[in-house]
Structure 1
């Protein structure tokens, strides 16, 4: 299937996709503030530049777009055009995510990934449900996790080679 836009239009549209202050980040910021947590946005000093760092709890939160980070949910669809290019790009994002999570873990930080599908779309979790899961994970003080439309689950941490 051919792209519905010419190359220049597609390029312009892709450049317009923001990397910070996205709608899902804004929603999560509101939820964290409502729960009474203090946080730093886009923490540059930490691997992967987490969307939110809660220094008092030594934990970080990433909001991952389901397409860009290849989440196995209804929001991820394999592109019909330039499929090999996009799958390689997304695979690179996934590998970088694993490396960043492993580095954070080595530095003693807990990691929570909140998937886009949990924050928006037809199967999103309610604010109350998200608040409960956020508070539970942040205050528990142990383990790394992820939140999707099915709720919270443990996050697998891969080890880094000793050379890093």
Structure 2
């Protein structure tokens, strides 16, 4: 199916797609804060500019969108239009995620990944984060 909007309209729509401060990211921040942990956001000095950095625990939290980062949860569908482009784009994102996680781990950081679909069950996510962050305590 062909795109029914102009290039300028498509650009305007895509500008509205956020890369930081997304709803799932805000939810995870709220949960972690309620659990009593303090963190910094988007620390540029670390590989990949992690979403949340809990320096005291040497832990970073990455909140990933299921579509953009290729999660196999079944809740994201590859668009039929330009399917090859999207498959390549998502695969590049996955490779970049793996490189960034390796670099962080080599530097002594623990990396927790929270998927967008996990934010649909806040109580379950809160319990998971509490368990994982408690393990990171010095």
- TM-score, normalised to structure 2, is 0.93
Q: Is this contact kept in 2: 1:69–1:90, CA < 8 A?
A: yes
Q: Provide the rounded CA distance (Å) in 2 between the counterparts of 1:80 and 1:128.
A: 35
Helix, strand or coil at the partner of 2:127: helix
What CA distance in whole angstroms lies between the structure 2 residues aligned with 1:72 and 1:6?
Answer: 32
DSSP 3-state at the match of 1:11? helix
Query: 1:44-88: CA deviations, max 9, x gaps?
Result: 111111100101111000000001000011321111111111211
Tell me the distance in 1 between the aligned counterparts of 2:131 and 2:59: 13
Structure 2: segments with no counterpart, 5+ residues: none
Alpha-carbon distance, 1:141 to partner: 2.4
Equivalent residues in 2 for 1:12-27, closer than 5 Å: 12-27=12-27
Q: Which residue of 2 aligns with 1:141?
A: 136
C-alpha contact (below 8 Å) 1:66/1:76 kept by paired residues: yes
Aligned pairs for 1:22-41 within 5 A:
22-41=22-41
Alignment of 1:80-159 (within 5 A): 80-119=80-119, 124-125=120-121, 127-141=122-136
Superposed CA RMSD in Å reads 1.4
Distance 2:72 2:32 in 1: 26
Give secondary structure in 2 for the equivalent of 1:3. coil
1:11 offset after TM fit, Å?
Answer: 1.9
Whole-angstrom CA distance in 2 between matches of 1:85 and 1:13: 18
CA contact (8 A) 1:25 1:63 kept: yes
5+ long unaligned stretches in structure 1: 143-164
State the alpha-carbon separation in 2 of the partners of residues 107 and 9 from structure 1. 43
Greater RCO (Cα-Cα under 8 Å, separation 6 or more): 2
Which structure shows the higher helix fraction?
A: 2
